[in-house]
Amino acid sequence: MAKLHLLLLAFIGTTVAYAQKTTTIWLDGLSIKSFSEGIPAVLPKTNAAGDSMRINRRYFNHGVGVNATSILAFYLDGKATEFSALAGVDDKGNRDLPHTFYVVADRKILFDSGEMRLGDAPKPVNVKLTGVKRLGLLVKVDDDGRTKVYSNWANAQLVMLGNHLPENIPNSDEKYILTPASPKTPRINSATVFGATPANPFLYTIAVTGDRPMQFSARDLPKGLSIDENTGIITGKVAERGRYKATVIAKNALGEATQKLTIKIGDTIALTPPIGWNGWNSWARTIDREKVIASADAMVKMGLRDHGWTYINIDDAWQGKRGGKFGAILPNEKFPRFREMVEYVHSLGLKVGVYSTPMITSYAGYIGGSSDVETGQVTDSIVANKRAFRYVGKYQFDANDAQQMADWGIDYLKYDWRIEVPSAERMSVALKKSGRDILYSISNSAPFANVNDWARLTNSYRTGPDIRDSWNSLFVSAFTLDKWAPYGGPGHWNDPDMMIVGNVTTGTQLHPSRLTPDEQYSHVSLFSLLAAPLLIGCPIEQLDAFTLNLLTNDEVIAIDQDPLGKSARLVINENGLQIWLKPLEDGSYAAGLFNVGDFGKTPESYFRWGDEKTKSFIVDFAKVGLKGKYRLRDVWRQKDLGPFTDSFKTDIRHHGVVLLRMFPEKQP
């Protein structure tokens, strides 16, 4: 009787399971951008250009249009039963490049389209997903930076159990903190070299941690400079060219710290990479005066200024009409009392940046630096049709805008467009004639073929597309920069874009970075090794303890700000290990050991499955070009590891890093 009862219960359970309600959802009904871990656009119901979705002359009203290599990742948690779609290259895509479509579930490839090209009929996709936890949709294209590489998941649908919806891949790994707290005694963290132009305004702030109050002083400053003893801000103007050796001093009740400071007065500014904050990935188009001031206040309150963070940069969306005494771009209604705002930020010892473009309209649809009419004005109809005016107009106003920036006291310009040399050169000349040192950063995707021009004309140049908070985007933006390394240096830095830590908005609403904690350590480590600009892209006042700790390790920052200005080079790339080696001014080396796994080598490797493992590696010194005995220091933990001869063995977490300082020891 008991056996019959158990069989009956089993039958009832099976019947209920089979009868469980399912819901079919269109992928284009989801917030699809939030599921994208690729770089270019992902759009619902259209191709990636925003046009009608069409494959082999057949139109589709439903689906997801993607561009180039595309990665869509979904957390299903066993709540889906089926995925279906028609996969194919969009009729407005690139004719020459083969695309391969994959459906990957819990590390298993369920669909492989083989190579598909423009004009091929769409291929039907229909895969069962019962019990699947994680689903990945991958389109693989070796686009080599080419544009209009459009393809589609047409009529894409998921069948879900009940009313469940797919979720984003969870990012719940422990936010482990490695860096010890700064001591209460003074410790100076400023860059040890600083460049300025003769007779231009000079602003340098001594960054120092330790208990307040703090008293500041300096010895052997060049004529024309003075230091505020309460703030450590050095201001003035130096008329004579030269190389000046000064000493800066910070003192509190517990002790005193000194640091040598080399001041170079000449033609080169930005002798170390810029380090600060940019507002786009925090606030995008909603940036305003109050948010800028709040960010500057937070830079001080959170202690970032004491670790050398300097710039407060306003991205696109501050621009209003053209006018004023210079006939220049003036701020819009969100930025009243603009000069007063700049002066306030300067009073904190920080610097201010703005955004512009040589195009008629900016990417966000605001007035740019050129026009097809002589007055330079941009009408409302032009703004409404901004995509049609993303080109350099007949009349350019570089000199007008540079003069206005200098008059306000601007310290940094982000100049953004599809970069070409003539526009880059016009603004470079205008800034140098403005009477103020304005760091000149051009964006985005600078053509490598013109790298010598970018190094000659600018202080930093974007080496790739806009970064997103995904491992794929970070890998493309930073782990592929070895060919650029010889061209960066003091005064002209390779720029892989803003930092993707903290809360960011990169095409979707503000959310915590999708990088795992391990990936964030790798991110900050590699940017520092590359001598890249360090520009935080998150709201500073929202920093949690983990992210603040990540951004305030002075030994990591010192690698980025090293006066030698050399970028690390990729010296090992095998068996899932990358080693980047950077020579430093004192004769030591910084070495980043990265566990990149097999990323990009298999369809499965593009996704995070939640079961990734730590791996052991042995570093052979001779294989990276070093021989003999080295004293090693773990930079993130600020801990000496001891002397090692010929090799070093360590465990590295998946997509994680071990960042070392390697000091050569004299041989007996």
> Which residues are part of the catalytic machinery?
416, 466
Antiparallel, parallel or unpaired: β 503-504 and 511-512: antiparallel
Strands 439-443 and 412-416: parallel
Strands 187-188 and 208-209: antiparallel
Could you say which DSSP state residue 368 is in? -
The answer for residues whose C-beta is within 8 angstroms of residue 137's C-beta and 6 or more apart is: 70, 71, 72, 73, 74, 101, 102, 103, 104, 153, 156
Closest by CA to 415, choosing from 423, 404, 407, is 423
- Unique residue bearing structure tokens 């194919």: 88
Closest CA to 20 of 161, 133, 132: 161
CA distances from 317 to 3, 334, 445 (A): 72, 9, 21
648 in Cβ contact with 581 (< 8 Å): no
Q: Is the dihedral of CA 270, 276, 281, 287 positive or negative?
A: negative
Beta bridge partners of 198: none
Beta bridge partners of 24: 159
> CA 110, CA 115: separation in Å to the nearest integer?
16
Q: How far is CA 159 from CA 24, 82, 164, in A?
A: 4, 5, 10
Say how many C-beta atoms besides its own lie within 10 A of residue 598's C-beta: 10
Helix (H/G/I), strand (E/B), else coil: 232: coil
Q: Of the candidates 405, 529, 533, which has an alpha carbon nearest to the alpha carbon of residue 462?
A: 533
Residues with Cβ within 8 Å of 290's Cβ and at least 6 positions away in sequence, in order, are none
C-beta neighbour count of 179 within 10 angstroms? 18
